[in-house]
Amino acid sequence: MKAIARSVSATRVEGMVPATIPQKMQFSLIRPGYTLRSLNLPDTRSPMPDDLLRPTVGAGVNMSARPWRLMSQTYVAFFGGVIASTVVAYLNAGRLGVDAAKRRLILLSGLAGLVVVVGVFLLLYSDAGVLSGLRVGIRVVAVLCCMAQIRWQRPMDRAFQLRGAEYGSLWGLGIAATVGGAIIEALILLLVTVVL
């Protein structure tokens, strides 16, 4: 109190009245006669202040190989066929960190798509040489198969987008898969015509 009185007298200016600082009123919600006991519970809080701020998007994903855009795979499916789109989708799923069960589904959908392509070929192929309907049917099957494969990759692709990283280029592998897949598919269809 003496220190406050000294500081007030030291800062007194003529004609001004020093302001007094009111003390805080302290009150308690605990009724008189009762005490607050603390429970000795273990601390279950995480080291992060909020679990929503914990970085989990990149957990378990190899960031050295950048994935490709999902819609770029449809170009490969349209021009290269089911085999090419399945190869690209399987490799991209590995780059995105898709779990093994969904990667197997991608392979199985590619196999099922190839069986459907052979079925469409057997239905529409004739010796007359009209192949435009056949080509359209095979491309429709390849794109539908690719859309199913994209659906299994989409959750991890969204997680990749949240990381803010850039996509890789599909030009080199996409062209190679398109040409290679189209050749392999044509050889399979040629083999089907020879056998049947």
Per-residue pLDDT of 25-38, as tens digits, reads 666 666 666 665 66
For residues 188 and 82, the answer to whether their CB atoms sit within 8 Å is no
**Whole-number average pLDDT of the chain:** 81
Q: Supply the pLDDT for residue 155.
A: 94
> How many angstroms separate the CA atoms of 44 and 121, rounded?
62
Residue 132: per-residue pLDDT:
77
Q: By mean pLDDT, which of 44-58, 87-101, 120-134 is the weakest?
A: 44-58
**Mean pLDDT on 68-83:** 96
Q: How far apart are CA 191 and CA 158, in angstroms?
A: 41
What local confidence, expressed as pLDDT, does residue 196 receive?
Answer: 79
CA 123, 134, 112, 115 dihedral sign is positive
Write down the domain spans for the chain. 72-195
d(CA 152, CA 50): 30
Residue range 68-82: mean pLDDT, rounded? 95
Which residues, in sequence order, are CB contacts of 83 under 8 Å at separation 6+? 110, 114, 180, 181, 184, 185
**Any residues with CB less than 8 A from the CB of 113 and at least 6 apart, and which?**
82, 86, 141, 142, 144, 145
End-to-end Cα separation, the chain, in angstroms: 109
Q: For 21-30, 44-53, 108-117, which range has the lowest pLDDT when averaged over its residues?
A: 44-53
Which two structure tokens, joined as six digits, stand for 151?
Answer: 């659906």
Q: Where are the alpha helices (DSSP H) in the chain?
A: 2-10, 72-80, 82-96, 100-124, 132-163, 171-195
pTM score, whole prediction: 0.68
